[in-house]
Chain A
Amino acid sequence: MIKYDKEDIIRLVKEQEVKFIRLQFTDILGILKNVAITSEQLEKALDNKCMFDGSSIEGFVRIEESDMYLRPDTNSFVVFPWRPQNGKVARLICDVYNPNGTPFEGDPRYALKRALKMAEEMGFDAFNVGPECEFFLFLTDNDGNPTTKTHDNGGYFDLGPVDLGENARRDMCLALEEMGFEIEASHHEVAPGQHEIDFKYTDALTAADNILTFKLVVKTIAQRHGLHATFMPKPIFGISGSGMHVNSSLTKDGKNAFYDKNDPLELSQDAYYFIGGIIKHIKYITALTNPNVNSYKRLVSGYEAPVYIAWSNSNRSPLLRIPATRGASTRVEVRSPDPSCNPYLALAAILSAGLDGIKNKISPPSAMDKNIYEMTEEERAENGIDSLPGSLEEAIALLKSSPYVKTILGDHIFNKYIEAKTTEWEDYKTKVTQWEVDQYLTKY
């Protein structure tokens, strides 16, 4: 990762004629927020003097505590490749601080930094993450509103030889590469209109920053192609949903800590304990990795999304999968998260769960290479295979019951997150859905 300091940023802004800088941060739900400044205010921002009203941000503070400061992370400086004539726009990801100079406990980025500190204290020099994000590209209707129709069925094939979605995805990759992202792969996914872009792994903080920017770039470029991009986990019943697989590994002394060539699976003891930790905590953190009502419509069998808590070296769709590569690319792939999650909280939760496994030497159950979906409930119970929560309500209850997760998130985020999610669930619970109308209106 490129390291910039304050002078570098001032110089780059001048050299590249950047007119606007977006100071970005997130609320606890992972929605990107920004304060846009002009290049004249850049020095003030770099001196950590930019302020905003914290009471207007979801999960932040009440009105009486509202002044918050933004401290830009200079290493996150990136210039957006579009709108070159209006004046270039750059972004700086910021940490949120209290007026007294302490980091704000409600800042999700701080939660991830705390988890990374814990890893460092345990002797690991980095937690590397390579995310694989899926998304849908939908058409808009005549009023410009998004639909769930994909162009694949839209009859464009008879008009042009090239796929509209492929064009858009290619432009997305070009834009991301221009911004310095390293794209490993990009392809059309299983469902019509569904695409995937995979990033090369980087340290978790950069990866989380990049996931947010990636979503922004995808949405912007989709719009420029007249399409609507969505990271909604399950927009259409009956076809695959969109997940965000997290390929993770820890490094120690510059080497991959998960690799051990003497083990039958070539995995180190730390790797096994990491898996053990995640298996232990995953259902308690699912409310973080799969944050909304719709997330649970994706976690059903039949669409390659995980349902049961198990790991495997060879199985196609377990919760935790160990891809075949070894050596420096040895990693554990966590397959349950979806791209609507707050990446800072999700990665902090996954890392902490894994570290807990390493610290307390939690051995994982044996690898489950049989097809779990074909087992009966008794067989699963016999094998000790538990399931992920089946709804947001279940997930919230599990989150609430875990003191370990409370320490990872800190009281502020823990309480605010539960509050926000409970409100969401209560609202959903009381709404009358189209399904009910279809089922019962004529019958009764």
Chain B
Amino acid sequence: MDTARVIVAIGTEAANAKVKSFLAENGYLVVDTAEECNECLRKLSLYRPDFLVLDSSLPKLGGYEVAKVALEDGSCDVIMISSKAQEEIGFEMRDSSRFSFLIKPINKMLLINTLELMKRSGKRIKELEQEVEHLKSAIDSRKEVDKAKHLLMQHLNMGEAEAFKRIQKQSMDKGISMKEIAKAIILAYDI
């Protein structure tokens, strides 16, 4: 798998440096660090990392404001580090597969395992999303072709197989998808 790019914004330069070196040892590329919310937002926009490791009490707006923007605008996953076990996490974050929560002090192995898990599940979700898109498109296409087929059968007195072959041939001859041919047929008969 490609190296995941991370931005670390735990708070102080020292804390960031510690996490940065630990992540680097484990094969993650820490592209930058931040010590304050606006700085973090700027760097998110510039680097578009895969992950953001964030402290919930990051000055000045607090980690949750940054997390909201990261989850809504960016394509990065967020790991929130907090000192409070029970914290007010908005429902939109609790339900998101792109958000995780760890308590301080940071357990190094737990952090790595969380990152790994999010990386794997993120990849799987992306694959599934693409498959769904592909299937949706195929179903749409089939619906259109079916409709067009029935129109041809009705108006040109053809059998089902013949109608299908006609659409297929047009598609091959013109170099346009069968879906487009079907749409054109439907439109033509609409007039």
Give residues of chain B (11-65) contacting chain A, Cβ–Cβ below 8 Å.
32, 35-47, 59-61
Chain B 158-189 per-residue mask, 1 if CB under 8 angstroms from chain A, else 0: 00000000000000000000000000000000
Complex interface: chain B residues within 8 A of A224 (CB):
41, 69, 73
Complex interface: chain B residues within 8 A of A167 (CB):
45-46
Question: Among the listed stretches A1-9, A49-57, A80-88, A281-289, which one makes contact with chain B, having 4 or more residues with CB under 8 Å of it?
Answer: A80-88
Is the CB of B105 closer than 8 A to any CB of chain A? no
Complex interface: chain B residues within 8 A of A139 (CB):
38, 42
Complex interface: chain A residues within 8 A of B44 (CB):
226
Q: Which of B41, B46, B90 contacts A86 (CB 8 A)?
A: B90
Given A164-B45, A164-B46, A226-B41: A159 and B60 interface contact (C-beta under 8 Å): no
- Whose C-beta in chain B lies nearest to the C-beta of A87? B92
Q: Which of B46, B61, B92 contacts A85 (CB 8 A)?
A: B92
CA distance A84 to B90 in the complex (A): 13
Complex interface: chain A residues within 8 A of B88 (CB):
none
29 contacts between A and B (CB under 8 A): A82-B72, A85-B91, A139-B38, A139-B42, A142-B35, A142-B36, A143-B36, A144-B36, A144-B37, A144-B60, A144-B61, A151-B42, A156-B42, A159-B46, A160-B46, A162-B46, A164-B46, A167-B45, A167-B46, A224-B41, A225-B41, A225-B42, A226-B37, A226-B40, A226-B42, A226-B43, A226-B44, A226-B45, A227-B42
Given A82-B72, A86-B92, A159-B32: A226 and B38 interface contact (C-beta under 8 Å): yes
Complex interface: chain A residues within 8 A of B60 (CB):
143-144
Is the CB of A168 closer than 8 A to any CB of chain B? yes
- Whose C-beta in chain A lies nearest to the C-beta of B69? A224
CA distance A151 to B46 in the complex (A): 11
Interface residues of B (CB under 8 A from A): 32, 35-47, 59-61, 68-69, 72-73, 90-92
CA distance A159 to B34 in the complex (A): 14
Give residues of chain A (103-152) contacting chain B, Cβ–Cβ below 8 Å.
139-140, 142-144, 151
With an 8 Å Cβ cutoff, the count of chain A residues facing the other chain is: 24
Q: Is the interface of A mostly helix, strand, loop or mixed?
A: loop
Interface residues of A (CB under 8 A from B): 82-86, 139-140, 142-144, 151, 156, 159-160, 162, 164, 167-168, 171, 223-227
Complex interface: chain B residues within 8 A of A85 (CB):
72, 90-92
CA distance A85 to B42 in the complex (A): 22
Complex interface: chain B residues within 8 A of A225 (CB):
41-42, 45
Complex interface: chain B residues within 8 A of A164 (CB):
42, 45-46
CA distance A190 to B61 in the complex (A): 32
Cβ of B71 to closest chain A Cβ, rounded Å: 8
Complex interface: chain A residues within 8 A of B37 (CB):
144, 226
Complex interface: chain A residues within 8 A of B35 (CB):
142
Q: Which of B36, B37, B45, B60 has the most CB of A within 10 A?
A: B45
Complex interface: chain A residues within 8 A of B39 (CB):
140, 142, 226
Cβ of B65 to closest chain A Cβ, rounded Å: 9
CA distance A162 to B44 in the complex (A): 12
Cβ of B41 to closest chain A Cβ, rounded Å: 3
Tell me if B61 and A156 are in contact (CB < 8 A): no
Cβ of B16 to closest chain A Cβ, rounded Å: 14
CA distance A293 to B64 in the complex (A): 38
CA distance A224 to B59 in the complex (A): 15
CA distance A224 to B36 in the complex (A): 13
CA distance A210 to B60 in the complex (A): 31
Cβ of A352 to closest chain B Cβ, rounded Å: 43
Cβ of A230 to closest chain B Cβ, rounded Å: 15
Complex interface: chain B residues within 8 A of A160 (CB):
46-47
Complex interface: chain A residues within 8 A of B41 (CB):
223-226
